[in-house]
């Protein structure tokens, strides 16, 4: 069985947040007609509370490189980039280059910030352009890096491609668990475990009144204890907060400062929305009418996923805990 058929059979979904079927993405790039193609392993991992890709690079770099080499073999006339954020580049560049031994793979670092986690932005960064998202369509599998069809998956996805190629995939994923927990770290558990089961099996289920943020420490949604009977979706991160010790407006301020720093200032809804949310967090007062308008505009008119991702954390925190 060829690797694309194996990826489809495994139902592997991308682990960078969008959860797009990996086999379909590979097939789309393979079927495009072009004189050259590119592969990008995206190791930007710029969201607070998400550190699973770092764990994989520390412990399984050979699997990541093998996954990329499999893509090179499957996609004709291709070459690859491993894009890493600044810290990961400094820590893992030498280790990865020793494993690569292939002139078709380049370990690459240039500042792209949080936005480089988005697939078209990482193309711009590698090309030496501003770290901004592109209009879609066309999608990267059609016109990506340097104008050629491009396959983009993150580090965890390439790790699992390698495992699938060896028939060693067991329907698992990595979870970054942090916050007010006793065993902060990265854990590998089955995909179908509920959030509550993940916390209990990692010995991190709290014995105090708490809430969690799932999917990242900025864009992740807030869930209460009675909402944890569901599997994790998107990026594999769970952050636990002790309700009695958490200043909710300080948490809002932290998110808003992050989004103000990381947005590209290109689109008005995102730029102004992040600023208005920061103002609200600083004053400690929620203007319901203004809040509804800000969240609506962010969700419906932001140019790229960064603006749209602001809706879930603020909306869930405010309506579940502040205006309950």
Q: Which domain holds residue 318?
A: 248-322
Same domain membership, residue 302 and residue 224: no
What does the pLDDT average to over 68-97?
96
Q: Say yes or no: 234 and 254 in one domain.
A: no
Examine the fold and report which residue of 141, 165, 189 is the final residue of a domain before the chain moves on: 165
User: In terms of domains, do 82 and 153 share one?
Assistant: yes
Could you report the per-residue pLDDT of 95-116, keeping only the tens digit for each? 999 999 878 999 998 888 888 9
Closest CA to 68 of 176, 154, 9: 154
> Alpha-carbon torsion 79, 59, 21, 175, what sign?
negative
Question: How far is 81 from 42, CA to CA, in rounded Å?
Answer: 8
CATH number for position 85? 3.40.50.11540
Kindly indicate the confidence band of residue 18, based on its pLDDT and cuts at 50, 70 and 90.
confident
What integer best gives the mean pLDDT of the chain?
A: 94
Residues 159 and 44 occupy one common structural domain: yes
Whether residue 35 is predicted with pLDDT greater than 90 in this model: the reply is yes
Residues 62 and 190 in one domain: no
For residues 147 and 186, state if they share a domain.
Answer: no
| Last residue of one domain, picked from the residues 222, 245, 268 | 245
Using the 3D structure, point to which of 245, 275, 290 is the last residue of a domain.
245
Are 191 and 265 in the same domain? no
Q: Is the pLDDT of residue 57 over 90?
A: yes
Whether residue 15 is found in the same domain as residue 100: yes
Does 22 share its domain with 147? Answer: yes
Residues 188 and 131 in one domain: no
Q: How many structural domains are present in the chain?
A: 3
Q: In what order do the strands lie in the sheet with 210-214?
A: 185-190, 172-179, 237-242, 210-214, 221-223
What CATH number corresponds to the domain at position 234?
3.10.20.600
Task: Record the pTM.
Answer: 0.95
Q: Which residues pair with 186 in a beta bridge?
A: 176
Q: What is the pLDDT of residue 277?
A: 93
| Whether residue 151 sits in one domain with residue 134 | yes
β partners of residue 154? 42
Express each pLDDT in 183-217 by its tens digit: 999 999 999 999 999 999 999 999 999 999 999 99
Q: Return the CATH number at 283.
A: 1.20.1440.230
| Position 180 pLDDT exceeds 90 | yes
Mapping DSSP to helix (H, G, I), strand (E, B) and coil, where does residue 63 land? Answer: helix
Give yes or no for a cis peptide into 138 (omega within 30° of 0): yes
Both 108 and 161 in one domain: the answer is yes
């Amino acid at each position: 069985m060829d690797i694309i058929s194996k990826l489809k059979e495994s139902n592997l979904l991308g682990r960078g947040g969008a959860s797009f079927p990996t086999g379909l993405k590979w097939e789309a790039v393979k079927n495009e007609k072009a004189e050259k193609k590119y592969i990008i392993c995206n190791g930007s991992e710029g969201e607070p509370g998400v550190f699973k890709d770092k764990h994989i690079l520390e412990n399984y770099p050979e699997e990541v490189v093998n996954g990329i080499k499999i893509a090179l073999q499957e996609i004709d006339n291709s070459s690859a980039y491993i894009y890493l954020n600044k810290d990961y580049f400094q820590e893992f560049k030498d280790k990865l280059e020793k494993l690569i031994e292939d002139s078709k793979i380049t370990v690459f670092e240039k500042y792209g910030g949080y936005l480089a986690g988005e697939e078209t932005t990482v193309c711009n960064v590698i090309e030496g352009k501003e770290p901004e998202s592109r209009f879609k369509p066309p999608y990267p599998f059609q016109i990506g890096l340097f104008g050629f069809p491009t396959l983009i998956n993150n580090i965890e996805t390439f790790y699992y491609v390698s495992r699938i190629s060896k028939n060693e995939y067991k329907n698992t994923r990595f979870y970054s668990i942090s916050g007010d927990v006793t065993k902060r770290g990265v854990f590998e558990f089955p995909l179908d475990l509920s959030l509550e089961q993940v916390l209990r099996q990692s010995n991190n289920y709290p014995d105090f009144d708490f809430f969690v943020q799932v999917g990242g420490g900025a864009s992740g949604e807030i869930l209460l204890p009675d909402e944890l009977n569901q599997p994790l979706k998107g990026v594999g991160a769970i952050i636990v907060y002790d309700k009695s010790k958490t200043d909710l407006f300080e948490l809002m301020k932290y998110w808003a400062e992050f989004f103000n720093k990381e947005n590209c200032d290109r689109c008005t809804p995102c730029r102004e929305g992040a600023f208005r949310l920061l103002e609200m967090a600083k004053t400690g007062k929620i203007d319901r009418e203004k809040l509804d308008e800000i969240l609506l505009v962010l969700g419906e008119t932001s140019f790229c996923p960064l603006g749209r991702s602001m809706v879930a954390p603020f909306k869930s925190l405010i309506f579940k805990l502040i205006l309950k």
